[in-house]
């Protein structure tokens, strides 16, 4: 009886604390059956093809005077096996705390890079999406950052959101006299009615002295006509010269269209042309490399059964030039060969 009373007291105290802090439990469960072809073909149950499966906590506390404390903890998992999405981290997607007020918002911890957040919001960063297939810095290489400090400016112009970011080590732990992994980013997003546009930038050192950098920029614009939402974008990733090697920039030019065809049903199609199509996100081909382009075609159908649950079908086709080896969903694909994937699944938010 005594143990029961103590347990109830602990639950009551926990509930009171949660109520004071406005803590929210949230998550996504995404599962599909897919068939992916590269050099070989595999059919499997898969996770995360429409959205990343995850569970997390977010909360806020009103400190008075317009000041609030916020936190965000986000952990990924795989619905095909039940395994954690990141074997080296529990909260591999996000783990940050911050303050918000009239000055804007400041966050500290692991979080989305600004270019990664813009890539995800405007274009998608799942396995069948163009920026992931193209292995861009915002889609894959620096999708999230460790050790990040982010400042989100207050809204000065309606519809305009400005942010700046700095990381002492983009991935891993800092070391003395080691500048590798240090970097910064900037972003601007504008949304006004049917019009949306944005630009983002990232710069990360890749050597101890800080003389060599990976940089990426994304520019997009979209307009919702009602009968269709049209999006155009350009992404360019670059790397400094190293050891006398002159690198070529990775460039992605893309167009997307999303058409609502019935109540709760949306069909989307996209095309992207990639130059310097290297299957490694932070490596770039030498300028002497020829025939390293690729074309990416995407199709998506989504049927919203409710506000939380959706059925979906995805198809992505990659046509590689002779020296390119991009692939869908991690399929091993030799240079010059095509890759494609087809997935049918269900996604539930809670």
**Average pLDDT of the residues in 221-246:** 94
% residues pLDDT > 70 (the chain):
94
CA-based nearest residue to 224, from 333, 122, 106: 122
Give, in words, the CATH class of 28-349: mainly beta
Q: How confident is the model at residue 244 (pLDDT cuts 50, 70, 90)?
A: confident
- Banded pLDDT at 9 (limits 50, 70, 90): very low
Cα(301)–Cα(292) distance, rounded to whole angstroms? Answer: 30
Q: Taking the alpha carbons of 116, 254, 315, 133 in that order, is the dihedral positive or negative?
A: negative
For residue 285, pLDDT beyond 60: yes
Pairing, β 265-275 against β 41-47: unpaired
pLDDT of residue 249: 96
Asked if residue 3 has pLDDT above 50, the reply is no
pLDDT at 292 over 80: yes
Pick the range with the lowest mean pLDDT from 5-19, 183-197, 227-241, 295-309: 5-19
| Residue that the structure tokens 């803590």 belong to | 23
Reduced to 3 states, what is the DSSP secondary structure of residue 58?
Answer: strand
pLDDT confidence of residue 209: 85
Residue spans of the domains in the chain: they are 28-349
Q: Give per-residue pLDDT as tens, 139-151.
A: 999 999 999 999 9
pLDDT at 7 over 90: no
Q: How many CA atoms lie within 13 A of 88 on its CB side?
A: 3
Q: 0.75 exceeded by the pTM?
A: yes
Span 263-292, mean pLDDT? 96
What pLDDT, on the 0 to 100 scale, is given for residue 129? 98
How many helices (DSSP H) and strands (DSSP E) are in the chain?
3, 17
Q: What contacts 298, CB < 8 A, 6 or more positions away?
A: 128, 129, 130, 256, 268, 269, 270, 271, 272, 314, 315, 316, 317
- The rounded mean pLDDT for the chain is 93
- Residue 2 is predicted with a pLDDT of 43
CA nearest neighbour of 254 among 238, 237, 281, 230: 230
């Amino acid at each position: 009886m005594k143990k029961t009373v103590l347990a109830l007291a602990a639950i009551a105290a926990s509930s009171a604390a949660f109520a004071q802090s406005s803590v929210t439990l949230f998550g996504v469960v995404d599962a599909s059956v897919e068939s992916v072809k590269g050099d070989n073909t595999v059919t499997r149950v898969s996770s995360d093809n429409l959205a990343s499966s995850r569970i997390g906590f977010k909360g806020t506390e009103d400190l008075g005077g317009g000041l609030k404390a916020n936190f965000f903890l986000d952990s990924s998992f795989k619905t095909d096996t039940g395994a954690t999405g990141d074997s080296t981290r529990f909260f591999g997607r996000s783990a940050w705390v911050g303050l918000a007020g009239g000055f804007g918002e400041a966050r500290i911890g692991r979080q989305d890079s600004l270019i990664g957040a813009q890539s995800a919001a405007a274009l998608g960063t799942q396995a069948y999406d163009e920026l992931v297939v193209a292995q861009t810095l915002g889609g894959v290489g620096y999708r999230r950052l460790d050790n990040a400090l982010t400042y989100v400016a207050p809204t000065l112009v309606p519809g305009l959101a400005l942010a700046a970011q700095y990381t002492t080590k983009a991935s891993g732990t800092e070391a003395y006299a080691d500048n590798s992994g240090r970097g910064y980013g900037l972003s601007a997003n504008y949304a006004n009615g049917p019009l949306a546009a944005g630009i983002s930038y990232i710069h990360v050192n890749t050597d101890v002295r800080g003389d060599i950098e990976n940089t990426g920029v994304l520019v997009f614009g979209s307009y919702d006509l009602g009968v269709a939402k049209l999006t155009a974008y350009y992404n360019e990733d670059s790397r400094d010269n190293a050891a006398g090697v002159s690198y070529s920039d990775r460039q992605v030019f893309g167009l997307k269209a999303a058409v609502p065809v019935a109540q709760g049903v949306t069909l989307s199609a996209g095309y992207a042309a990639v130059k310097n199509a290297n299957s490694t996100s932070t490596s770039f081909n030498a300028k002497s490399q020829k025939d390293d382009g690729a074309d990416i075609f995407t199709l998506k159908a989504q049927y919203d059964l409710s506000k939380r649950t959706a059925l979906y079908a995805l198809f992505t086709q990659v046509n590689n030039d002779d020296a390119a080896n991009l692939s869908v969903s991690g399929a091993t694909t030799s240079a010059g060969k095509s890759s494609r994937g087809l997935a049918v699944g269900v996604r539930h938010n809670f």
